[in-house]
Chain A
Amino acid sequence: MSTLQNISTRIRRKWAPGHTIVLIVILAVAAGFLPFVKMGLVVNGVFLASIIALGAIGLTLIYGILDFANVAHGDYMTMGAYVALFIVAGVIAAIGAESQGLGPFTFGYPLLIAIPLTAAIVALGAIALDAVIYRRLRNWRVNTAVVSMASLGVAIALRGLVQIIWSSDTQNYPRESRQVFHLPMDVRIPPDNIFIALVAVILAVAVYLLLTRTKMGKAMRATADNPDLALVSGIETARVIRWTWVIGAVLAAVAGILLAVFQAHLVPIMGWKFLIPLFAAVVLGGIGNPYGALAGAFIIGVTSEVSTQWINPSYKPAVAFAIMIAMLLVRPRGLFGGQG
């Protein structure tokens, strides 16, 4: 076999023809629309997409491995945003540390300290909630819809907790006004958004490396693929589930903080309202498929942002919802397949 043939079979093996066609169609449609679209909206959509992606990757991993739709995922994001607020405006400010803007950003270094701390706290919270609620439901072998209902209860409880502690008022991280970057084609980028995209890329790469290079990551993929075979291979499902919560919660917590930075304020309902784009991205990419969730996030983020050129911005979630419904009707397994 010649080298050329060898390479082409290797590519074919990794890329099912279906995937290539799907990708070409999406790119062609997108390219067709490009001349009529304000570039600024596309760019903004990409930044929004990077936040959706962090939430959606965690949501789809939990969906794949624990086999239920975690309706509380948005409120894990809210929790992340508020715990970071507590650390930045409460703890670090109380120590007397100045929260001056860092470089071109509206926030100071306290937020950089708060991100890993918050991620750890929310991850511990997620493990605790699993031990108290979800593990029992698993042991009782209840229907997956019941587990999702339980997570709805968790979502409402978490939001209530946020309202009790921080009130329903709009809040924000200590911030300084900053100049936005001006790019050609009337594109304006707030420096914060560069930071948001950077953090999202770092975390997405970290998750990719974890899933493909580490034993635990491979065990997570194996458990999502075939739970019974994972059990008889000796994979400790309890540990896999713990790690899934840690990864999902860390991503959600950071996504929550980034969302609060992106929209420059915090409200208790912020995460709940973000659920529709999250689920739309998950369904679009194929349930249980983290790479699909990443692609889905970009389609949802850019489309819903660009839609504001013609549609009232308050309909953004409706656009995401419409894409999700269309996907479920046309291709329920998602663009790139999944557990369906």
Chain B
Amino acid sequence: MTLLEASGVVAGYGETQILHGVSMAVNQGEVVTIIGPNGCGKSTLLKTIIGLVRVRAGSVAFRGTDISSRPPEQIVRTGLCYVPQTANVFSSLTILENLEMGAFVRNSGQGERIGEMFQLFPDLARRTDQKAGSLSGGQRQMLAIARALMLDPVLLMLDEPSAGLSPAMTGLVLERIKDINETGVAVLLVEQNAREALQMSHRGYILVAGETRLEDTGPQLLNNPEVARLYLGG
């Protein structure tokens, strides 16, 4: 079943158009990775889907409903949550407060959900009253993901969750994302570490200059010599 479907999405900032008609889809339970050169519009695509950037043409549908003109605070209620690449925690708030803010629109079960997050990321449980701004890069990323999971999303979108992390920490974060997917949450991933990301992905898209250039399964993309040469660093 198709969860998310973007068709012919055009978007940008001010005078600059970044996306020139992007079409892609995420099915239930899938991990989908978007790779592409810097500035091709990967981050803009996620921001447009979540409603931070306006859709100028085309449409975004989630679970069969058109969400292309909705504000983010309504979109997240439908089960689509998002982890930005930078500034993805409230740095002046504590770990616990960050998780509470993630659950802002939740009516019940907040305590249990926080408990589940602490099981998934035990590092966070030990310092609940620490300010998020004083966490290490890896811990901050874990908190950012946990915050986005507080609403039990059906689809989780992550923008470069490994940016700025050590290789070991990158492996750990991707491992957690795999765990999250195994609980039934679909994942849409934008990743610099294309090789590792494609290895754990069911499908992948290659985005170039604001357009979808190629779509295939994760392994097929990895084995494609042209993709390897252009986007995976040989």
Task: Say whether A87 faces chain B, with CB atoms less than 8 Å apart.
Answer: no
Partner of B93, one of A215, A222, A231, A232: A222
Chain A, residue nearest B91 (CB): A225
The reply on A159 being an interface residue by CB < 8 A is no
Residues from chain A with Cβ under 8 Å of B52 in the complex: 228, 231-232
Among residues of A, the one whose C-beta sits closest to the C-beta of B75 is A232
Residues in B with CB closer than 8 Å to A225 are 90-93
Contact A229 B73 (CB under 8 A): no
A231–B151 Cα gap in the complex (Å)?
Answer: 14
Known contacts A221-B92, A222-B93: does B101 contact A232 (CB below 8 Å)? no
Query: A235's contact among B51, B84, B97, B101, by CB below 8 Å, is which?
Result: B101
In the assembled complex, how far is the CB of residue B146 from the closest CB belonging to chain A, in whole angstroms? 12
Enumerate B96-148 residues with CB–CB distance to A below 8 Å.
97, 100-102, 104-105, 130-131, 134, 147-148
* Residue B77 CB within 8 A of the other chain: yes
CB pairs A–B below 8 angstroms (27 shown):
A13-B134, A215-B100, A218-B93, A218-B97, A219-B101, A219-B104, A221-B93, A222-B90, A222-B93, A222-B97, A222-B101, A225-B92, A226-B87, A226-B90, A228-B87, A229-B90, A230-B101, A231-B73, A232-B72, A232-B73, A233-B76, A233-B101, A234-B72, A234-B76, A234-B104, A235-B73, A235-B104
- Per the bound structure, the CA–CA distance linking A191 and B11 in Å amounts to 64
Q: B73: nearest residue on chain A (CB-CB)?
A: A234
Name the interface size band of chain A: 10 to 19
- The answer, yes or no, to whether A236 is at the interface (CB within 8 Å) is yes
A231 to B101, CA, bound (A): 10
A215, A221, A226, A228: the one within 8 Å of B104 (CB): A215
From residue 212 to 248 of chain A, which have CB atoms closer than 8 A to chain B?
A: 215, 218-219, 221-222, 225-226, 228-237
CA distance A218 to B104 in the complex (A): 10
**A-binding residues in B (CB < 8 A):** 50-52, 71-73, 76-77, 81-82, 84, 87-93, 97, 100-102, 104-105, 130-131, 134, 147-148, 151
On chain B, the residues within 8 Å of A221 by CB distance are 90, 92-93, 97
Q: Of the candidates A218, A230, A232, A237, which one forms a contact with B100 in the assembled complex, judged by CB atoms under 8 Å apart? A: A218
Identity of the chain B residue whose Cβ is nearest the Cβ of A236 in the assembled complex: B73
CA distance A329 to B73 in the complex (A): 39
Known: A215-B104, A225-B93. A232 touches B81 (CB 8 A): yes
Interface SS, A side = helix
In the complex, are the beta carbons of B104 and A233 less than 8 A apart? yes
Name the distance in Å between B147's Cβ and chain A's nearest Cβ.
7
Question: Besides the contacts A215-B104, A229-B87, what 17 more A-B pairs have beta carbons closer than 8 Å?
Answer: A13-B134, A14-B131, A218-B93, A218-B100, A221-B93, A222-B93, A226-B90, A228-B84, A229-B90, A231-B51, A231-B71, A232-B81, A234-B72, A234-B73, A234-B77, A236-B73, A237-B73
For A224, the closest partner residue in chain B by CB is B92
- Inter-chain CA distance A226–B151, complex, in Å, is 19
Q: Which residues of B contact A237 (CB under 8 A)?
A: 73
Q: For residue A226, which residues in chain B have a CB less than 8 angstroms away from its CB?
A: 87, 89-91
Cβ distance A76 to chain B, nearest Cβ, rounded Å: 26
Complex alpha-carbon distance, A235 and B65, angstroms = 22
Report A334 CB to chain B, min CB distance, Å.
Answer: 14
User: Chain A nearest CB: distance from B31 CB in Å?
Assistant: 20
Evaluate contact between A13 and B130: CB separation under 8 angstroms: yes
In the complex, the answer to whether B88 meets A229 with C-beta atoms within 8 Å is: yes
Of A225, A229, A237, the most chain B CB neighbours within 10 A belong to A229
CB-CB under 8 A from B72, the residues of chain A are 231-232, 234
The CA-CA distance from A44 to B77 in the complex, in Å, is 52
Q: How far is B89's CA from A236's CA once the two chains are assembled, in angstroms?
A: 17
B196 nearest CB across to chain A (Å): 25
User: Which chain A residues border B88 with CB–CB below 8 Å?
Assistant: 229
Complexed CA–CA distance, A63 and B50 (Å)? 27
CA distance A91 to B93 in the complex (A): 45
B105 near A234 with CB under 8 A, answer yes
A14: chain B residues at CB < 8 Å are 131
Interfacial chain B residues near A215, Cβ < 8 Å: 100, 104
How far is it, in angstroms, between the C-alpha of A321 and the C-alpha of B87 when the chains are bound?
34
What mask results when residues 257 to 299 of chain A are scored 1 for a CB within 8 Å of chain B, else 0? 0000000000000000000000000000000000000000000
Distance of A225 Cα from B148 Cα, bound (Å):
17
Chain B CB within 10 Å — which of A14, A228, A233, A237 has the most? Answer: A233
CA separation between A229 and B151, bound complex, in Å?
14
The answer to whether A232 and B50 have CB atoms under 8 Å apart is yes
A232–B71 alpha-carbon span in the complex (Å): 9
